[in-house]
Amino acid sequence: MKSSATIEALSEETRRFPPPPELASGANARPGIYEEAERDYEAFWASWARKLEWSKPFTKTLEWNEPFAKWFGDGELNASVNALDRHVRAGQGARVAYYYEGEPGDRRSISYAQLLAEVCRFGNALRKLGIKKGDRVAIYMPMIPELPIAMLACARIGAAHSVIFGGFSPDSIVDRVNDSQCVALVTADQGWRRGKKVLLKNNCDAAMKATPSVRTCIVARRVGDPVQMQAGRDVWWHDIVADSPIQCEPDPMNAEDLLYLLYTSGTTAKPKGIQHTTGGYLTGVTMTHKLVFDLKEDDVYWCAADIGWVTGHSYIVYGPLCNGATSIIYEGTPDFPDKDRLWEIVERYKVSILYTAPTAIRTFMKWGAQYPAKHDLSSLRLLGSVGEPINPEAWMWYREHIGRGRCPVVDTWWQTETGAIMIAPLPGITTTLPGSATLPLPGIAADVVNEQGESVPPGGGGYAVLTRPWPSMLRGIWGDEERYRQTYWSKFAHKYLAGDGCRRDAEGNYWFMGRIDDVMNVSGHRISTTEVESALIEHPKVAEAAVCGKLDGMTGQAIYAFVSLRGAESGTPGLADELRAHVGEKLGKFTQPKFVTFTQELPKTRSGKIMRRLLRDIAEGRTLGDTTTLADSTVVKELQERAASESARDEA
Ligand code: WTA
């Protein structure tokens, strides 16, 4: 285990927060739910699946051919029907699905009936463009209503969407589009971010030079600046929907048909196309959204993530819509025009449930409590956290300054691969502890195991695993069955390896400690060290590079690059910036290394392997263990000195 030191660093948290009695008495999850699920977990999930609308009811619950699961495998349903039509037919058409707020301050409120009409118009337009069931469609958009509309329209006609986060570079678009051979790319002219225009269509133009499978590029007008439109390939969203009917026959999908692909970083340079299917995924997100957030009829719910990541897929689009929730979509950053933008939005729409990330919470802490204090946040009743381990200090600050001491905080652990929340409190039942995701949800079986795969006793740390299939689990990696087996199902027999280190206390609460593989978590974004290394090595002046994560008070981890240069090149601050810009261009700005240390030589074993563990220790300023296997130990001393001065510069 690579970070055993961290895992052994047991937290001594003793604060406990039992559920508020008012919440407990009316909560969606009733006491006894854990026992009910344990008695027959398949029957438990089947009962949740039956709350969805099936055009052909399923008769089989689980077919488990490890590591391949089929859930509700002979049933048929359509995701967009479950998200929209069902509520409209039930007389809820006028209910607000989304309050949309653009960064410049433009606002729209979109009812379920309107959303359904827009989805149908776009679905018809997609069909007219020749896009059909079984195709893949890439979506690269800002946080505007057209993004969920595009996703749901794909789902309606049976095309799988592959959303690519709007912060990615053209090269990253190319890799993802080519891997799954998308036939179309949906984008916008530009988007707004911190008052600046993000050149989405330009990035697509650059990408489409190398994506032969893309026949059509659909462009939504967001900002309004002129963009290049290539005849025969590029079309405007508003043109193709102009005479499109507002009825669109949904394609009935098998429960196991692909709903979407979402690419995530692994331990190699090639991102993995995580596959999610229809019936099980919708069951998982609907159930968890209802129980973990204790969603009620009059709630205004806000997940402040980006739809480009799984959190947005599951908890801005599919979960909330299947539950008929009223949600917020906000386009921009929390500090535009000022650092109280989020709190202004909470006050304006009377948000009652807020779901955000530890990195955001730590940023709010840094900005100061005066920003939330300016606003009436009394509508809030529940707070959620996701994306990385939340430190007890941030948890308490969130509770005090945002929740004003009244709102339960639910720390939710899950992954792109799990599709839905796996480990989290049920706010009416679970006693919460600052920094712990508490317990596996009903129906979910997890464990913490040692190197041999044996369950560790209370108080011990090890690898987090899931020990039986669950409906929203990934169904594999696009085009790479072997990698799916290898990555998740090979280290321990019959256990899904999450890749996270974790400790479990005497009461069974889970305390997640971060990744144990070569994946960094920067502001909740998963970034592979190998991807950043490959990008660095592509720079003509770079001979070799090694990248690791360094603990960071704000972003969880920061990217640390050790770089050796070719021949006569010398490492200057100017070159460090050039490398940062280069990585940003290759992969996307959010992957730029915060620290760059140049070195003549990277520390290597005598067999020539870069000693990554040593570099991690150097980056984090730890005393070094055994360095006797090093080929050249003078390298290390020099690196330690340089790293120390880099860190000092950062702190100053
Ligand atoms: C981390 C985001 C601790 C973890 C939903 C996981 C967390 C990775 C938590 C997945 C949490 C997510 N506590 N760590 N509450 N939530 N993580 O795929 O390392 O973007 O493996 O999914 O984020 O990131 P992903």
Q: Which of 30-34, 196-200, 257-261, 264-268 has the lowest mean pLDDT?
A: 264-268
Please work out whether the CB of residue 419 comes within 6 Å of at least one atom of ligand 1: no
Please work out whether the CB of residue 263 comes within 6 Å of at least one atom of ligand 1: no
| Residue 9: per-residue pLDDT | 41
* 408 Cα–ligand 1 center, Å: 20
* 414 Cα–ligand 1 center, Å: 5
Within-domain flag for 539: yes
* C-beta of residue 544 within 8 angstroms of C-beta of residue 537: yes
Please work out whether the CB of residue 422 comes within 6 Å of at least one atom of ligand 1: no
What percent of the chain shows pLDDT beyond 90? 86
In ligand 1, the atom with minimum distance to the C-alpha of 423 is 15
Please work out whether the CB of residue 264 comes within 6 Å of at least one atom of ligand 1: yes
Identify the band that residue 265 occupies on the pLDDT scale cut at 50, 70 and 90.
confident
Q: Please name the residues in contact with 476: beta carbons below 8 A apart, sequence gap of 6 or more.
A: 68, 275, 484
| Residue 517: per-residue pLDDT | 85
Residue 269 has pLDDT above 50, yes or no: yes
* 288 Cα–ligand 1 center, Å: 16
Alpha-carbon gap, residue 273 to 270, rounded angstroms = 9
Identify the band that residue 2 occupies on the pLDDT scale cut at 50, 70 and 90.
very low
Across 306-325, average pLDDT: 98
Across 491-512, average pLDDT: 96
Within-domain flag for 557: yes
Tokens of 277: 């299917």
Amino acid at 573: P
Looking at the 3D structure of the chain, how many domains does it have?
Answer: 2
* 323 Cα–ligand 1 center, Å: 24
Residue nearest to atom 13 of ligand 1 (CA): 389
Within-domain flag for 470: no
Q: How far is CA 170 from CA 210, 263, 572, in A?
A: 10, 15, 28
Residue 462 has pLDDT above 50, yes or no: yes
Identify the band that residue 135 occupies on the pLDDT scale cut at 50, 70 and 90.
very high
Within-domain flag for 292: no
In ligand 1, the atom with minimum distance to the C-alpha of 417 is 18
* C-beta of residue 534 within 8 angstroms of C-beta of residue 523: no
Pairing type for strands 107-111 and 234-236 reads: unpaired
C-alpha 52: how far from its chain's center? 24
* 82 Cα–ligand 1 center, Å: 27
Within-domain flag for 631: yes
| Residue 364: per-residue pLDDT | 96
pLDDT, averaged across the chain = 94
Residue nearest to atom 24 of ligand 1 (CA): 415
* 325 Cα–ligand 1 center, Å: 24
DSSP string of 109-152?
A: EEEHHHHHHHHHHHHHHHHHTT--TT-EEEEE--SSTHHHHHHH
Alpha-carbon gap, residue 1 to 7, rounded angstroms = 9
Alpha-carbon gap, residue 71 to 61, rounded angstroms = 5
Please work out whether the CB of residue 352 comes within 6 Å of at least one atom of ligand 1: no
Residue 572 has pLDDT above 50, yes or no: yes
Q: Which of 404-413, 484-493, 569-578 has the lowest mean pLDDT?
A: 569-578
Within-domain flag for 99: no
Identify the band that residue 170 occupies on the pLDDT scale cut at 50, 70 and 90.
very high
Phi–psi pair at 511, nearest 5 degrees: -120, 105
Q: Please name the residues in contact with 90: beta carbons below 8 A apart, sequence gap of 6 or more.
A: none
Residue 129 has pLDDT above 90, yes or no: yes
Please work out whether the CB of residue 200 comes within 6 Å of at least one atom of ligand 1: no
Question: Could you tell which of 517, 521, 523, 528 is best to mutate to test the pocket of ligand 1, judged by most ligand atoms within 8 Å of the CB?
Answer: 521
Please work out whether the CB of residue 498 comes within 6 Å of at least one atom of ligand 1: yes
Identify the band that residue 518 occupies on the pLDDT scale cut at 50, 70 and 90.
confident
In ligand 1, the atom with minimum distance to the C-alpha of 424 is 15
Tokens of 227: 């963009």
Across 387-394, average pLDDT: 92
Kindly report the three-state secondary structure assignment for every residue of 361-373.
Answer: HHHHHHHCCHHHH
How deeply is 12 buried, as exposed, middle or buried, from its count of CB atoms within 10 A (0-12, 13-18, 19+)? exposed
Residue 211 in 3-state DSSP? coil
Tokens of 577: 């910036």
For residue 117, the domain's CATH number is: 3.40.50.980
* 387 Cα–ligand 1 center, Å: 4
Angle made by CA atoms 445, 449, 453, in degrees to the nearest 5:
105
* 510 Cα–ligand 1 center, Å: 13
Within-domain flag for 337: no
Q: Which of 247, 236, 220 is nearest to 124 (CA)?
A: 247
Please work out whether the CB of residue 515 comes within 6 Å of at least one atom of ligand 1: yes
Pairing type for strands 136-140 and 184-188 reads: parallel
Other residues' Cβ atoms within 10 Å of the Cβ of residue 15: 12
* 413 Cα–ligand 1 center, Å: 6
| Residue 11: per-residue pLDDT | 52
Please work out whether the CB of residue 309 comes within 6 Å of at least one atom of ligand 1: yes
Q: Which of 12-26, 38-52, 139-153, 280-294 has the lowest mean pLDDT?
A: 12-26
Alpha-carbon gap, residue 175 to 113, rounded angstroms = 37
Alpha-carbon gap, residue 121 to 106, rounded angstroms = 23
Other residues' Cβ atoms within 10 Å of the Cβ of residue 199: 16
Please work out whether the CB of residue 179 comes within 6 Å of at least one atom of ligand 1: no
Alpha-carbon gap, residue 564 to 571, rounded angstroms = 8
Alpha-carbon gap, residue 400 to 224, rounded angstroms = 42
In ligand 1, the atom with minimum distance to the C-alpha of 499 is 21
* 474 Cα–ligand 1 center, Å: 15
Please work out whether the CB of residue 308 comes within 6 Å of at least one atom of ligand 1: no
Alpha-carbon gap, residue 495 to 509, rounded angstroms = 19
Please work out whether the CB of residue 412 comes within 6 Å of at least one atom of ligand 1: yes
| Residue 515: per-residue pLDDT | 86
Examine the fold and report which residue of 225, 251, 277 is the final residue of a domain before the chain moves on. Answer: 251
For residue 600, the domain's CATH number is: 3.30.300.30
* C-beta of residue 104 within 8 angstroms of C-beta of residue 192: yes
Q: How far is CA 517 from CA 289, 412, 499, 553, 561, in A?
A: 29, 21, 6, 21, 17
Examine the fold and report which residue of 227, 251, 275 is the final residue of a domain before the chain moves on. Answer: 251
Within-domain flag for 614: yes
* C-beta of residue 326 within 8 angstroms of C-beta of residue 298: no
Across 437-462, average pLDDT: 96
The dihedral sign for the CA sequence 200, 201, 207, 211: positive
Identify the band that residue 14 occupies on the pLDDT scale cut at 50, 70 and 90.
confident
Residue 335 has pLDDT above 50, yes or no: yes
* 386 Cα–ligand 1 center, Å: 7
Residue 162 in 3-state DSSP? strand
Scanning 2-97, the segments in alpha helix (DSSP H) are 4-8, 21-26, 33-39, 41-49, 79-80, 86-87
pLDDT in tens, 358-379: 999 999 999 999 999 999 999 9
Residue 203 in 3-state DSSP? helix
Q: What is the CA radius of gyration of the chain?
A: 24
* C-beta of residue 291 within 8 angstroms of C-beta of residue 321: no
* 161 Cα–ligand 1 center, Å: 22
Helix, strand, coil percentages in the chain from 3-state DSSP, rounded to 5:
35, 25, 40
Please work out whether the CB of residue 414 comes within 6 Å of at least one atom of ligand 1: yes
Pairing type for strands 496-504 and 461-466 reads: antiparallel
Alpha-carbon gap, residue 94 to 105, rounded angstroms = 24
Please work out whether the CB of residue 310 comes within 6 Å of at least one atom of ligand 1: yes
Whether residue 20 is preceded by a cis peptide bond, meaning omega within 30 degrees of 0, is: no
Q: Which of 324, 388, 331 is nearest to 361 (CA)?
A: 388
* 319 Cα–ligand 1 center, Å: 18
Domain that holds residue 642: 523-651
Alpha-carbon gap, residue 463 to 277, rounded angstroms = 27
Examine the fold and report which residue of 200, 234, 251 is the final residue of a domain before the chain moves on. Answer: 251
* C-beta of residue 50 within 8 angstroms of C-beta of residue 75: no
Question: Could you tell which of 267, 303, 388, 511 is best to mutate to test the pocket of ligand 1, judged by most ligand atoms within 8 Å of the CB?
Answer: 388
Amino acid at 83: A
